[in-house]
Amino acid sequence: MPATIINRCPQLRQAVIPRLKKEADRLLAAHHQPGRHVSFVLVSDQEIQTLNRTYRNKDSATNVLSFSNDAQRDPMLAVTGSHELGEVIISVETARREATELNQPFLLYLVRLMVHGFVHLIGYDHERSPSAAQEMTAMEKKLLSTTITSFGRSHMIKLAINVDHVATIRQARLGREPDPVIAAAQCELAGAVGIVVHLREDRRHIQDRDVRILRETIQTKLNLEMAATEEMIAIARDIKPDMVTLVPEKREELTTEGGLDVVSFADSLDRAIGELQDSEIPVSLFIDPLESQIEAADDVGATFVELHTGTYADAQGDDEREEELDRIVEAAATAFDFGLRVNAGHGLNYVNVGPIAAIEEIEELSIGHAIICRALYVGIDQAVREMREQIGYGIEL
Ligand code: PXP
């Protein structure tokens, strides 16, 4: 049974509408309402304030209003068709403010409001009595847990941790400490589901010895980042990591500066991927969120793409950040439609990770610098657990 999403708020990116539609359809399917239809209308603070004043005598903006079409149950009848179960009106501006205050991914918070409004439509009302409030919360939890598979339920986004910077500190003295192998084990104990290391041609941080020992000790998954050179391909085929992520590499750069140009280097990447796949190593290509690069990645036979989030992370101001986020949302959907598996990473931190973690098609995030920096202050265990909270594992439903 279809739901309709109507976006009347210019501040809401059009790119998120299909995502919200999918969540709304799941919601209606989870609570079977034969033949009925619900409209979710996304509006500004000004518009919701007018509705709140007109229908509830409250002259202020609010986060969500539900207008049931069941006149007996709810006299605040909205102008809807006879198959309408009702309308849920959500203020995008209030939702954004509240999501920020609660430190929750904006999209997740919007879906929570959709659920809240929907539960009102089906007859629950927390304002009636304390026990009615309890019943309503129970129904919201039930619907959230059965419908929102992408937000920390059956399909949790995974966290892989890059431990290069532990090796960077060790290499500052060319000694034995700190050891990225020990750090990797601690990351796994704290819930990381993969360890990433970048073996660079200049060996500035991770050493060959690290990769060899990690191959023996890692309990989850070893993702070897590397350039598509003959030397690195030989090392990968010998060590057999669980996957390889091919990245562009420049000696003079401080960190990876952009995605691979798969379009221009299709032939050599095709060859490199073929050789790695011959050794049964799945390959991910680190690319900018562009359709042309995604299509080329598919053409050369990559299993995964890792979408470069660095430009999003470096964006100045809300508008630029939203624009970059849009590009990643669209690229993730495009890659998924091509049948590619989708990861993302670079420059993600505790503040900016939420909206990326909320993108349904992304399976795994690769995060290094922010976690290792925080670990200096609070320890690896806490730093990893806090990041897991941020990406949605730990959100209380
Ligand atoms: N993904 C790739 C391909 C990278 O090269 C890096 C940096 O080594 C990361 C993810 C992690 O980036 P950050 O350290 O900024 O979290």
Average pLDDT, the chain: 89
Domains in the chain: ranges and CATH: 3-146 (3.40.390.30), 158-390 (3.20.20.70)
pLDDT score of 250 more than 50: yes
Q: In the structure encoding, which two tokens stand for residue 67, read together?
A: 């207008």
Query: Per residue in 90-130, pLDDT tens?
Result: 999 999 888 777 766 677 788 889 999 999 998 999 989 99
- Average pLDDT of span 344-354: 95
Residues 6+ apart with CB under 8 A from 19: 107, 329, 360
Cα torsion at 161, 320, 156, 397 (round to 10°)?
120
Residue 10: count other Cβ atoms within 10 Å of its Cβ.
Answer: 9
- At 239, the amino acid letter reads I
Burial class of residue 206 (count of CB atoms within 10 Å of its CB; 0-12, 13-18, 19+): buried
Helical residues (DSSP H) of 148-226, grouped into ranges: 164-173, 180-189, 208-217
CB of 105 closer than 8 Å to CB of 157 = no
Report yes or no on whether pTM surpasses 0.95: no
Q: Which of 254, 260, 369 most suits a substitution to test ligand 1, by most atoms within 8 Å of the C-beta?
A: 369
Query: Per residue in 64-91, pLDDT tens?
Result: 999 988 655 545 544 444 577 899 999 9
CB of 284 closer than 8 Å to CB of 306 = yes
Q: Which of 164, 169, 200, 256 most suits a substitution to test ligand 1, by most atoms within 8 Å of the C-beta?
A: 256
Cα torsion at 282, 283, 284, 290 (round to 10°)?
-120
Rounded-to-integer distance, Cα 148 and Cα 171, Å: 44
Query: Is 198 among the catalytic positions?
Result: yes
Cα torsion at 1, 10, 115, 386 (round to 10°)?
130
Query: Is 225 among the catalytic positions?
Result: yes
Residues 6+ apart with CB under 8 A from 271: none
pLDDT score of 243 more than 60: yes
Query: Is 31 among the catalytic positions?
Result: no
Q: Which residues line ligand 1 (CB under 6 A)?
A: 162, 164, 198, 225, 245, 247, 255-256, 286, 306, 345-348, 366-370
